[in-house]
Amino acid sequence: MGIGTLKGIALHLLAVGSLFAGMPSAYGIPAFARKYGLPCSACHEAWPMLNNFGQTFKDNGYQLGNERDAPIYQQPAYWPIMFRTTPVWHRENNNRQAIDQVPGNARSSLVESSVTTSGFDLSGVDAITAGTLYKNISFFIQPFIGNNSTSLLQTWVRLDNLARSHWLNLKMGKFELDLPISQERSLLLNNSGGLYYNYFFTPPGDNNFFTGIGVPQLGVELLGHSDNDYTRYSVAVVTDSNGATGLPSNQAYDVYANFNQAFEARRFGEQQIGVYGYFGQSPTYFQTSGGNPIPGTGTGNRSFYRLGAYGHWYIDKFDFYTFYMHGSDNVFLGNAVPANQPSRLPLGAVGPTWNGGFVEGHYNPNPRLILIGRYELARMSREANPTIRGNAGNLDIWTAGYRWYPIMSPRAGLAWTQEYSRITNAGAAPLSGQDDIRNSYLMGFDFDF
Amino acid sequence: MRLKITLASSALVFTLLWSVAGLAQESHVGKLVGHANRGKALYQRYCVFCHGEYGDGSGESAPYLDPKPRDFTKAVFKCRSTPSGSLPLDSDLYDTISRGVHASGMPSWKPLLRQERADLVAYIKTFSSAFQEEKPGEPVPIPPEPPSSPESIKRGGDLFLSLNCWSCHGKDGRGHGPSAASLTDSKGYPITPFDFTSGARFKCGDSDREMFRDLVTGLDGTPMPSFANAMTPDQRWDVVHYIRSLHVSRKHSEVKIQSAGQ
Amino acid sequence: MERQACMRLKYAVIPACAVVALSLSGRVTTGWASPADASTSVKGTVKFEGTAPKPSRIDMSADPLCAKARSTPATTEDIVVGADDGLANVVVYVSDGLSSHSFPPPGQPATLEQKGCQYRPHVLALQANQKLEVVNSDETTHNIHPTPNNNREWNMSQPHGVPLEQSFAREEVAIPVKCNVHPWMRGYIAVLKHPYFAVTDKNGGFELKDLPPGTYTITAWQEKLGTQIQKVTAAAGETKTLDFAFKQ
């Protein structure tokens, strides 16, 4: 059992662990439906996925612009709060896990075996409150009440339509970046396919504080859009703490920018293309006191970036996302070596780079049904050092599912979902070095009140 | 033989009737041609909860809205470019959908594709047979606007009194005239006259041209009449200028003209 | 093929070619006894049973020009009872028995006058597509706002002396008319497809003249007291008497 294998296990467990921590908290917000009397389908193709009307509403600061937006027009008892939870039945299977040959006996040798778990389950509760504090001042608070803990996923305030212009909106707090395709509004919930892996990808052996653009970040964002939301830009400056509060990281700032442009293809519908990039610097070591690192004093910053292009294509009732990402971490980050000890770099160490992307297709015959299919992949193009096997970290994920909405009401939402995902982690089986395949099947309710 | 001919002539009748009906299933807005069958799916997605399954304005949300959603079955619309009593043009319905109606539950649907909005217009027209039986009138002519001036504002103010606008809108334009409390729309719901001092945007469009047009067409379905017979075009522009001078919270050039004269 | 189809089907109830013509022109005239042959009439009185309610005073002080225009104060006109309990402003008309043929509207217009800030007559009956002339004899500006169910709704402002012409295309008994400037003003316009209607005078009397012989259903409509229906059969040269009685 070499270090490589143990590393492999550790990475695998880390990946799985981080999955549960970042369990997708996709949402539609019935509080908005209640406020305006519009049904979910007005803003959502199929909630939580937004359509252009809903995206415009969101970019306008959760305002329709009909002079009935400000809280003064609501009944005094109305409070914009919504709850969402997903009681499901799911089955997880991992075909090559290292388990003790004799259960309970740590000294019995490890064997590779398939592990299956299944049953009724609950992820937790999203309680979101969002809306307008005043005309052109919007807010969003999203705690996640998990089974064992509660965390604050997003909290921000936004000054909308500064200088009475759609082009200037300033947000501050902890927020999901203006991602090409919103992770928070993913249509899928299951363990293997719920996340967009490219948003959370870390190459093997890497200890970058930053774990991906899918993690809500702390900072400020300037966003602007045209009247019908066809042209959009956003620039965010965030502290390089990966969204963690308490100033644990360094004093550097990262920048994220996104730009997209939509156009109408008469026969087919709205088409959108965009580009994005995240450029940052993460610490490689900290000041210490008595050997213990002092949080916030991260230094030896080394840079990294994630960038790419994407599109959203409509053909009548079909639509597709296409997404590409190119990622690169500095050699010190990639090899988990402090920048003040370059001699610790392994022979032949380089900054890891990778490419990844996904294609996700939907068929939405009516507002009450949506079929989803997705293929996602990630490929390391350069590993951090020669001891890491060439295909370490490579992922292939296939997903298929559907969501059916038996009721559509301006008060609450209910969806029935069935999904299947299969994730292949190339060569990551802990003992044999074969592919590690995990598949997840999920069915259950998603309700939103 | 008799049966074949009966069928053939029935088919002929059916086709003729269908083609007459089919024309009402389309809308024409500029170069766009909207289709009611596509509009129906869009209506179910966006409109049905306020405007109702049968287009009669009694959707689930309607009891909680004021003003109430439009009843399409009556084919009476506020925001038109055609004379009072006439059906709206397709482009009038399209503009209302795109602009929304300020200070009401009707949002601006500009984020929808232009084709989608044209399809919705075509579907909305199927709710009333009036769109098949009648044609809309000619759009009212809107001459160029003369420049504003203290004299124009004064004349407009005199017309505001002599034409009894004040009896609903009040002498100061705040909407509390002697008749205001008794006003109902054509469905019997209480309705308040517009408060010109508030600076709020007008429901059928906010430009001077659109205000002029509203004076000519009236807002059908409400107590606001058409002044087509009651004023000459120049007089209507005077009234437009006078009304702008009342908008004290959102300064138009007319407000500056007024205060300069004081 | 078309011509053949027309002819073959002439024994059917409604010839197909005629139906086609209908859908395109909207009007069919088949042979009918011309009005010159018409020789019957139906006349009578509409009475009010019970104690007549006292009309209440209308306060017109909101518009000084209204009060100025009146020599006597105005009273409500929803139930107007005259001599011998005669009920005025009742629309009496033939509602059935004329088969499906149409009468062209008369050339002369019907006139509705705004005088002393009330409608004259209080109830006006006219034919579909007959010209309606609206006259404003008052110095103040009125707006005339009919609120029909079966016709197009319109709303026109009318200053003193400015002419106004409109018409109604479909039968409707009756269309309420209001003035938004003067909320007490209330009138009714009854639109009929044919000329056999009358509005009772101040003594409740009416006469439907020049009816062709036949069996008819006669309806009487009063704005507050509802409708009453009676059947009558009139032979050539006869004058039938028909009385109605309304009560609250």
- Domains in chain A, start-ordered, CATH in brackets? 3-448 (2.40.160.10)
Q: Is the pLDDT of residue A12 over 70?
A: no
| C63 lies within 8 A of chain B by CB | yes
- Identify all chain B residues contacting A366, using CB atoms and an 8 Å cutoff: 41, 44
Looking at residue A35, its pLDDT comes to 86
Q: Is the pLDDT of residue A394 over 80?
A: yes
Looking at residue A341, its pLDDT comes to 92
Looking at residue B14, its pLDDT comes to 54
DSSP B53-122: TTSSS--TTGGG-SSPPP-GGGT--SS-SS-TTSPPPHHHHHHHHHH--TTSS----TTS-HHHHHHHHH
Amino acid in position A197: Y
The total number of residues written for chain A in this structure: 449
Neighbouring subunits of C (3+ Cβ pairs under 8 A): B
Looking at residue C235, its pLDDT comes to 85
Q: Are B169 and B220 in contact (CB under 8 A)?
A: no
| A224 lies within 8 A of chain B by CB | no
DSSP B228: T
Q: Are C78 and C224 in contact (CB under 8 A)?
A: yes
Distance from CA of A408 to the nearest CA of B (A): 9
**How far is A131 from A32, CA to CA, in rounded Å?**
8
Higher pLDDT, A16 or A287: A287
Let me know the angle formed at the C-alpha of B96 by B90 and B101, rounded to the nearest 5 degrees.
Answer: 160
Which residues make Cβ contacts (< 8 Å) with residue B253, sequence separation at least 6? B148, B244
Two structure tokens written together for A168: 């200037």
Average pLDDT over residues C4-21: 36
**How far is B97 from B86, CA to CA, in rounded Å?**
19
- Check CB contact under 8 Å for A264 and B114: yes
**How far is A163 from A274, CA to CA, in rounded Å?**
26
- Check CB contact under 8 Å for B220 and C153: yes
Helix (H, G, I), strand (E, B) or coil at A446: strand
Higher pLDDT, C171 or A268: C171
Angular region, C203: left φ>0, alpha ψ -120 to 50, beta rest: alpha
Which residues make Cβ contacts (< 8 Å) with residue A66, sequence separation at least 6? B100, B101, B102, B103, B104, B105, B106, B107, B108
Q: Is the pLDDT of residue C18 over 50?
A: no
Burial label, A171 (beta-carbon count in 10 A; 0-12, 13-18, 19+): buried
- Check CB contact under 8 Å for C157 and B86: no
Q: Are C206 and C129 in contact (CB under 8 A)?
A: no
Domains of chain B with CATH codes: 23-133 (1.10.760.10), 150-261 (1.10.760.10)
Domain spans, chain C: 1-30, 31-247
- Check CB contact under 8 Å for B179 and C140: no
**C31-247 CATH:** 2.60.40.420
Per the DSSP assignment, residues forming a β-bridge with C127 are C192
**pLDDT tens string A195-244:** 999 999 999 989 999 999 999 999 999 999 998 899 999 999 999 999 99
By CA distance, what is A33's nearest residue in B? B61
Half-sphere exposure in the Cβ direction for A318 (13 Å, CA)? 7
Beta strands of A79-136 (E only): which ranges? 81-100, 110-134
Q: Are B245 and B258 in contact (CB under 8 A)?
A: yes
Q: Are A380 and A392 in contact (CB under 8 A)?
A: yes
Q: How confident is the model at residue B3 (pLDDT cuts 50, 70, 90)?
A: low
- Check CB contact under 8 Å for C153 and B223: no
**How far is B5 from B8, CA to CA, in rounded Å?**
5
Q: How confident is the model at residue C29 (pLDDT cuts 50, 70, 90)?
A: very low
| A148 lies within 8 A of chain B by CB | no
**How far is B116 from A53, CA to CA, in rounded Å?**
12
- Identify all chain A residues contacting B106, using CB atoms and an 8 Å cutoff: 66
Q: How confident is the model at residue B243 (pLDDT cuts 50, 70, 90)?
A: very high
**How far is A306 from A217, CA to CA, in rounded Å?**
15
Q: How many helices (H) and strands (E) does chain A have?
A: 5, 20
The 10 Å Cβ neighbour count of residue A76 is 7
Average pLDDT over residues A173-197: 90
The 10 Å Cβ neighbour count of residue B199 is 13
Two structure tokens written together for C153: 């709704």
Query: Lowest-pLDDT range, A68-77, B87-96, C2-11?
Result: C2-11
The total number of residues written for chain C in this structure: 248
Q: Is the pLDDT of residue A255 over 80?
A: yes
Q: Are B108 and B52 in contact (CB under 8 A)?
A: no
Average pLDDT over residues C196-217: 90
DSSP A298: B
Among the partner-chain residues B50, B106, B111, the one whose CB lies closest to the CB of A53 is B111
Q: Is the pLDDT of residue C197 over 60?
A: yes
**How far is A180 from A198, CA to CA, in rounded Å?**
12
Q: Are A122 and A86 in contact (CB under 8 A)?
A: yes
- Identify all chain A residues contacting B101, using CB atoms and an 8 Å cutoff: 66
- For CA atoms B19, B22, B23, B24, give the dihedral sign: positive
Indicate which of B40, B43, B96, B113 best probes the interface with A, i.e. most A CBs within 10 Å of its own CB.
B113
Looking at residue B247, its pLDDT comes to 83
- Check CB contact under 8 Å for C155 and B223: yes
Q: Are B79 and B204 in contact (CB under 8 A)?
A: yes
Q: Is the pLDDT of residue C17 over 50?
A: no
Mean of all residue pLDDT scores within chain B: 88
Question: What's the Cα-to-Cα distance from B60 to each of A7, A43, A404, B52, B220, rounded to whole Å?
Answer: 58, 17, 21, 7, 25
Average pLDDT over residues B159-170: 94
Neighbouring subunits of B (3+ Cβ pairs under 8 A): A, C
The total number of residues written for chain B in this structure: 262
Two structure tokens written together for C236: 């050539």
Average pLDDT over residues C198-214: 90
Q: Is the pLDDT of residue A351 over 90?
A: yes
Looking at residue B24, its pLDDT comes to 53
Distance from CA of B69 to the nearest CA of A (A): 11
**pLDDT tens string B196-217:** 988 788 999 889 999 999 999 9
Nearest one of B170, B247, B257 to B208, comparing CA atoms: B247
Looking at residue B33, its pLDDT comes to 94
**How far is C91 from C69, CA to CA, in rounded Å?**
28
- Check CB contact under 8 Å for A41 and B201: no
Average pLDDT over residues A146-173: 92
**pLDDT tens string A55-113:** 999 999 999 988 888 888 887 778 888 898 899 999 999 999 999 999 998 888 999 99
Which residues make Cβ contacts (< 8 Å) with residue C61, sequence separation at least 6? C67
Nearest one of A348, A59, A1 to A182, comparing CA atoms: A59
**pLDDT tens string A263-321:** 998 778 899 999 999 999 999 999 999 989 999 999 999 999 999 999 999 998 999 99
Looking at residue B15, its pLDDT comes to 53
Q: Is the pLDDT of residue C39 over 80?
A: no
Looking at residue C13, its pLDDT comes to 37
Nearest one of A197, A202, A199, A210 to A302, comparing CA atoms: A210
Two structure tokens written together for B77: 């619309």
Cα B237 from chain centroid (whole Å): 20
Q: How confident is the model at residue C114 (pLDDT cuts 50, 70, 90)?
A: very high
Q: How confident is the model at residue B13 (pLDDT cuts 50, 70, 90)?
A: low
Q: Is the pLDDT of residue B242 over 70?
A: yes
**What pTM value is reported for the model?**
0.86
B119 phi and psi, to 5 degrees?
Answer: -65, -40
A99 phi and psi, to 5 degrees?
Answer: -130, 155
Looking at residue A57, its pLDDT comes to 94
**pLDDT tens string C131-158:** 999 999 999 999 999 999 999 999 999 9
Q: Are B226 and B216 in contact (CB under 8 A)?
A: yes
- Check CB contact under 8 Å for B102 and A367: no
Two structure tokens written together for C170: 């479909």
Q: Are C45 and C86 in contact (CB under 8 A)?
A: yes
Distance from CA of A48 to the nearest CA of B (A): 15
| C59 lies within 8 A of chain B by CB | no
Looking at residue B6, its pLDDT comes to 59
Q: What are the helix (H) ranges across C144-246? A: none
Q: How confident is the model at residue C24 (pLDDT cuts 50, 70, 90)?
A: very low
Among the partner-chain residues C16, C17, C155, the one whose CB lies closest to the CB of B218 is C155
**pLDDT tens string B33-56:** 999 999 999 999 999 999 999 999
Nearest one of B89, B95, B92, B139 to B114, comparing CA atoms: B95
Cα C96 from chain centroid (whole Å): 15
Burial label, A277 (beta-carbon count in 10 A; 0-12, 13-18, 19+): middle
Cα C21 from chain centroid (whole Å): 30
By CA distance, what is C1's nearest residue in B? B5
Q: Is the pLDDT of residue C15 over 50?
A: no
Supply the ipTM of this predicted assembly. 0.84
